[in-house]
Chains A and B, each alone.
Chain A
Amino acid sequence: EVQLVESGGGLVQPGGSLRLSCAASGFTFSSYEMNWVRQAPGKGLEWVSYISSSGSTIYYADSVKGRFTISRDNAKNSLYLQMNSLRAEDTAVYYCARDEGLLYYFDYWGQGTLVTVSS
């Protein structure tokens, strides 16, 4: 059974940093591209970042470019999102999502982790 479990969310002050993790199991993690998608409270879904299976190709949404860094450790079956210079508008539930790879749809999602940026 495919499982994605996020962790690392919490309350952080504006300008602060946080590192999210996503532990994958039930599939060959190193063969799949991965993404982070977020959802602000009461709002819709926003794609945040993409990483290829090897980690060699990375993309970011303009809203987080230069502040967030996506990475992965295929030996540990884990995906990460390092978030720096956090702003109030980064407050959201952050989901990791497996990318199907050819048609770029997200076939499995984690349960999400809440990040709250507030003083």
Chain B
Amino acid sequence: DIQMTQSPSSLSASVGDRVTITCRASQSISSYLNWYQQKPGKAPKLLIYAASSLQSGVPSRFSGSGSGTDFTLTISSLQPEDFATYYCQQSYSTPGITFGQGTRLEIK
């Protein structure tokens, strides 16, 4: 299976900050990388697909980049509703879709 490693595992930031979360794949996955946001007690929500495409309805402060093995999710200006856990997911290897371990974004 392809291993996905996110960094950092947790992050403290303030409203208005620019935040970047990194996801690294254990082998090349081209652009088959997706990002999800999950709030406590809720289902994950798709933010970014194919590394850099913004899902419909998702605010433009979210952006994704990368290809191959290294990817980033950037939130340009944190809003109070953005404090959540973020997961990357590779969909290059199917079957065998795998997620990163998650990055918990907390209020400083």
Seen from chain A, the residues whose Cβ lies within 8 Å of a Cβ on chain B are 35, 37, 44-47, 50, 59-61, 95, 100, 103-107, 109-112
Q: Are A106 and B44 in contact (CB under 8 A)?
A: yes
Bound CA–CA A59/B87 (angstroms): 22
Could you say which of B38, B45, B97 contacts A47, with CB atoms under 8 Å apart? B97
Could you say which of B43, B91, B97 contacts A95, with CB atoms under 8 Å apart? B43
Q: Are B49 and A44 in contact (CB under 8 A)?
A: no
Q: Are B49 and A105 in contact (CB under 8 A)?
A: yes
A108 — nearest CB in chain B belongs to which residue?
Answer: B46
Main DSSP-derived SS at the A contact region? strand
Bound CA–CA A47/B96 (angstroms): 8
Bound CA–CA A60/B97 (angstroms): 10
Q: Are B95 and A105 in contact (CB under 8 A)?
A: no
Encoded as 1 (CB less than 8 Å from any A CB) or 0, chain B from 37 to 75 comes to 010001111100110000100000000000000000000
Query: Is B22 located at the chain interface by the 8 A CB criterion?
Result: no
